[in-house]
Amino acid sequence: MGNLARGSVVELISGPQVWMESEATRQLEQVAAWTGCERAVGLPDLHPGRGSPVGAAFQFRAVVHPSLIGSDAGCGAHLTVVRKASAHGANLVRRADQHYGEALAIGDRRRLFEVAWEEGPRGLLELPGLPEGLMALAALAPMDRGLKSGPPPLALTGGDSLGTIGGGNHFAELSQVGQVSPHPLTQQLGLERGHSAVLVHSGSRGLGAALHHEWGNKACEGPSIEVYLAVLAGAVRWARTNRLLLTYRGLLALGAARADRIVSDLDVVHNGVEAEGELYLHRKGAAPAEAGAPTLLLGSRGAPSYLLAGCGRTRSLCSSAHGAGRKMTRAEARAKLKDKYLRKSLARTRLGSEVLVDDPELLYEEHPDAYKPIAPIVESLVQSGVAEVVAELLPKVTVKR
């Protein structure tokens, strides 16, 4: 793709084995021409979004674009690995159904919202009467060093969806660690084949949508950058806390909500902005891939997910793919896959895992066939030196509700 007239460098990091839509690369070049854009990197899961592509990282100078964040600020993935759980099969499905079905009762909801917004996951430790397993999880969360956000925008959000998964491709999954590689992270994170895990993909729900509405489509320059980034930091903390609460439910389902069962824990934001001086790194459906740091590549129900190690490549803006990437729009998936598959056959995936959904349309919209195959994505990331494979995560029960 090379250099555009404005001087921004556009690069697609992918391989010939990866299916790529021309609309996706067109959108990549389009955003590369936005004010302040110096570099645009498309990752192998690149696919068209609303105006801007998903699966890309952008470097801007002195400009931040809230519209690139869109309506799910802080969206990301969380992985907690625990010692092998005793529940399997139908029992595990029943337990997942139970624990993701009932509301979390954690005292004062308003206080919970404030803590999530101002302090993030670790802030939960300030709440009185926190359940033991949740306290153990919160204690593992890193200290928040982000910008302070001021009062939480309660007026914007109305009800409180904290602790809920949401729609689309968001999910909570009870998995098993599959093949592990000899990478140093395997030992550092205590990964062993056969260990259990909770993998959560979710974001900032109605809060993110409200922020999107408020900040609209205007680019931030000058002092408004700091104001927006402070608000974004609050949304990211809220989203991280949301994933932690969802993880806790998964631990309850696994019967592993205790400090001595947890092996390791990490959270990866794939929709956000990182500031370094006057450079702003936008990740739009792109996972951080700093040298030696763990990152998550999300599968699509019928496919495994992967724990990867970043390689810190500046060519990829220290970013990796966040998932398989859509191949069909939701409408296309409904139209094409309804003829191909009976609804009943979709409760169990080709990997033998179970899917729990409230909205049966999601079985088609988020069917693995609606996504690119994940193996070529992993291959191309490794071949281009963006990330290395650490462990495979095999889904047992996927919850979407």
Partner DNA sequence: ATGTTC
- Burial state string for 22-35 with b = 16 or more CB within 10 A and e = fewer than 16: eebbebbbebbebe
> Token digits for 107?
């005292």
Please identify, using beta-carbon distances, which residue of 8 and 242 lies nearer to DNA: 242
* Nearest CB to DNA, comparing residues 166 and 294: 166
CB of 231 to DNA, least distance (A): 16
Q: Which of 203, 294, 302, 368 binds DNA (CB under 7 A)?
A: 203
Q: How far is the CB of 24 from DNA (least distance, A)?
A: 14
Q: Tell the smallest beta-carbon distance from residue 233 to DNA (Å).
A: 19
Contact positions with DNA (CB under 7 A) in 64-83: 70-72, 75
Whether 63 and 31 have beta carbons less than 8 Å apart is answered as no
79, 210, 266, 355: residue in contact with DNA (rule CB under 7 A):
210
CB of 50 to DNA, least distance (A): 6
Give the contact letters, 160-179, x = binds to DNA (CB under 7 A), - = no: -x----xxxxx---------
Q: Which residues pair with 354 in a beta bridge?
A: 348, 397
- Residue of 209, 230, 347, 357 interacting with DNA (CB under 7 A): 209
| Cα 333 versus chain centre, distance | 22
| SS3 label, residue 363 | helix
Straight-line distance from the first to the last Cα atom of the chain, in angstroms, rounded to the nearest whole number: 40
Taking the complex as a whole, the smallest distance from the CB of residue 141 to DNA amounts, in Å, to 21
Paired tokens of 135 = 């306290």
Residue at token pair 């999601």: 362
Measured between alpha carbons, how far is 297 from 367 in angstroms, rounded to an integer? 17
Which residue's CB is nearer to DNA, number 366 or number 392?
366
Which of the ranges 91-99, 199-207, 292-300, 305-313 carries the binding residues for DNA, by CB under 7 A?
199-207
Cα–Cα distances (Å) from 156 to 38, 177, 208, 214, 263, in that order, read 34, 40, 10, 9, 38
Is 322 catalytic? The answer is yes
- Please identify which residue in the block is written with the tokens 């966040």: 322
Residue closer to DNA, measured from CB, 8 or 52: 52
- In the complex, the smallest distance separating the C-beta of residue 343 from DNA, rounded to whole angstroms, is 17
Locate tokens 């806390």: which residue? 241
Neighbours of 375 (CB within 10 A): 13
Query: How far apart (Å, rounded) are the C-alpha atoms in residues 93 and 398?
Result: 9
CA distance 233 to 381: 29
63 vs 333, beta carbon nearer DNA = 333
Q: Give the CA dihedral 337, 342, 346, 352, nearest 10 degrees.
A: -110
Which residue's structure tokens are 């809920």? Answer: 164
Whole-number minimum distance, CB 63 to DNA, in Å? Answer: 22
User: Which residue type does 269 have?
Assistant: V
User: Based on CB atoms, which residue is closest to DNA, 75 or 321?
Assistant: 75
Q: How many residues does the chain have?
A: 401
78, 183, 195, 322: the catalytic one is: 322
Q: Are 158 and 206 in contact (CB under 8 A)?
A: yes
Q: Residues in contact with DNA, total (CB under 7 A)?
A: 23
Q: Which is nearer to DNA, 6 or 50 (CB)?
A: 50
Does 50 bind DNA (CB under 7 A)? Our answer is yes
- Strand pairing report for 271-276 and 262-269: unpaired
Binding string to DNA for residues 316 to 355, with x set by CB under 7 A, is what? ----------------------------------------
User: Of residues 364-383, which lie at the interface with DNA (CB under 7 A)?
Assistant: 366
Give the residue, chosen from 15, 153, 178, 206, that forms a contact with DNA under the rule CB under 7 A.
206
**Active site amino acids:** 322
Binding site for DNA (CB under 7 A): 50, 70-72, 75, 157-159, 161, 166-170, 202-203, 205-206, 208-210, 212, 366
